[in-house]
Amino acid sequence: MQSVKPKMILSGLGSALLLLQPFFTFPIFISILVGAPPLWLSWLIALIPLPLRYYLTGRPTCRTPFDIPIVISTAGIVLGFFISPDKQLGLTLLNTYLACVLFYYGLVNNSAARQGYWAFISVLLCLILLFLSVWNFAGGSDKQTVFNSWAYKLASTLPWTIGMELHPNVLGGAFAVVIPGLVALAIFLQRTPVRWGAGILALLFGLVLVLSASGSGWIATVAGILVVLLLRNARLFWGAALGVGAVAGAVWSIWHESHWMAVVFPFNNLLSRFEIWQMMIAVLKDRPLTGLGLGGWWSEAAASTVYRSPHNAYLQFYSDTGALGILALIAAIVISVRLFWQVLRSDKGSPYYGIAAGITGGIVAGGVHALVDMNLNILVSAGSKSLYFAVPLLWLWAALLVISCRHLLEGAGKVLPP
């Protein structure tokens, strides 16, 4: 009996530690961002749950529908690192990308966790979005105009020492992914406190999004919400779509007469994006299989201030990872469409239907935003150096999509295919 007791204690302690598996990856991001703790120590911490999970369950991780795209994109990332002309940029992306992979599996491995666990993650996500909001407004921006200048003035009074600027479109992309999920919780779930809380948060985040003056974030958010409405009711979707079309037409008719609209939707910037994409395609024609390597685009465009950002996450990922990365993206999109179809055919009365609908809307919003900006990997200036980060937000949404679809299908007596 005494020999069993330590095993029970170890099993209980191990299970508690495994709930924290996603958070074990955070020190890696902190090491890249501020230089401490040492990167080797952060990786040692991040890898602790893998042998522990193997000891307790007989496998280091569970299988998921996105396993094959992850393997392919990881191969592309590793290849991109070896051919990268800027190993400093390449190293920051390699480490944060691998941390995102561990973060994704850490979440999926805990898909059976209780509601309190996911409530904690939701609160943590809200705090991160608050941090990004303060970061954006305290750093200053050329997107200040008549309706948001007060927010920049207010934030400028706060103590701020991070020394890095965040572009409003990064903030806009983050809120575009999150807001459709909150809208879905507000219109699908039956629990009144959750609906009210989600609705209030959606309005608050929507206000911050409006103040960011991120035109791409506005458009992506509307696209994500339309997907949520489509999953709720076809008539609701078409009514909203017609309303959006009418508003877009009215905006276009007075665009030249309004200064703030020109700030939010800078048409000239859109034209310059076409020039950037043409330049990228021309450069990538010489290396269609391998791409330019991690961060290679910035080395290619180092002599130009106009082309410092690719402004297209798909071309950027192709530049970083070559044909392997594009193959992985295509596979991930196909799998996401399959999961979307399964959600569409599922029981709308299930609470997981609304959750899956909101996550699907967020992923669509992220995909739309990726057409004109970076949201898979972002470049951040930190003083005299640059950091190239893999963004964990879409990895979080991919994990939540898998988890919600798994619960949704299990409720119908089906199994989510690996």
pLDDT, tens only, 166-180: 778 888 889 999 999
- Residue 416 within any structural domain of the chain: no
Same domain as 333, residue 222:
yes
pLDDT above 70 as % of the chain: 88
Tokens 């309303």 locate to 243
Same domain as 173, residue 255:
yes
Structural domains in the chain (count): 2
Same domain as 135, residue 1:
no
Q: Tell which of 14, 33, 60 closes a domain.
A: 60
Indicate the helix (H) or strand (E) that contains 15: helix 4-19
Same domain as 225, residue 95:
yes
Alpha-carbon torsion, ordered 212, 215, 216, 217, to 10 deg: 40
In the predicted structure, residue 98 carries a pLDDT above the cut 90: yes
Token couple for 1: 């009996």
Token couple for 417: 């295919």
For 210-248, write each residue's pLDDT tens digit: 988 888 899 999 999 999 999 888 888 899 899 988 888
In the predicted structure, residue 105 carries a pLDDT above the cut 70: yes
User: Beta strand 385-390 with 377-382: parallel, antiparallel or unpaired?
Assistant: antiparallel
For 242-265, write each residue's pLDDT tens digit: 998 888 887 777 766 677 777 777
d(Cα 167, Cα 216) in Å, to the nearest integer? 12
Same domain as 143, residue 95:
yes
Same domain as 102, residue 3:
no
Same domain as 245, residue 116:
yes
Same domain as 288, residue 225:
yes
* 324 and 355 Cβ atoms separated by less than 8 Å: no
68 pLDDT band (50/70/90 cuts)? very high
For 293-310, write each residue's pLDDT tens digit: 998 887 766 555 445 678
- Residue 12 within any structural domain of the chain: yes
- Residue 160 within any structural domain of the chain: yes
d(Cα 108, Cα 193) in Å, to the nearest integer? 26
Return the number of other C-beta atoms located less than 10 Å from residue 377's C-beta.
Answer: 23
Please report, as a single letter, which amino acid is at residue 161: T
d(Cα 60, Cα 49) in Å, to the nearest integer? 8
d(Cα 253, Cα 270) in Å, to the nearest integer? 18
Same domain as 248, residue 99:
yes
Same domain as 71, residue 55:
no
Q: Which residues constitute the domain of residue 4? A: 1-60
DSSP helix/strand/coil, 389: strand
For residue 51, the 8-state DSSP code is H
Any residues with CB less than 8 A from the CB of 45 and at least 6 apart, and which? 24, 27
Nearest to 264 by CA among 169, 129, 170: 169
Same domain as 382, residue 258:
yes
Residue 379 bridge partners (DSSP): 388
d(Cα 74, Cα 94) in Å, to the nearest integer? 9
Q: Tell which of 60, 80, 111 closes a domain.
A: 60
Q: Tell which of 23, 39, 60 closes a domain.
A: 60
The upper half-sphere exposure of residue 395, i.e. CA atoms within 13 Å in the direction of its Cβ, equals 23
- Residue 110 within any structural domain of the chain: yes
Burial of 60 (0-12, 13-18, 19+ CB in 10 A): middle
- Residue 418 within any structural domain of the chain: no
Task: Supply the angle between the helices 351-369 and 392-411 in degrees, to the nearest 10.
Answer: 150
Structure confidence at residue 1 (pLDDT): 44
Please report, as a single letter, which amino acid is at residue 366: G
Same domain as 94, residue 56:
no
Average pLDDT, the chain: 84
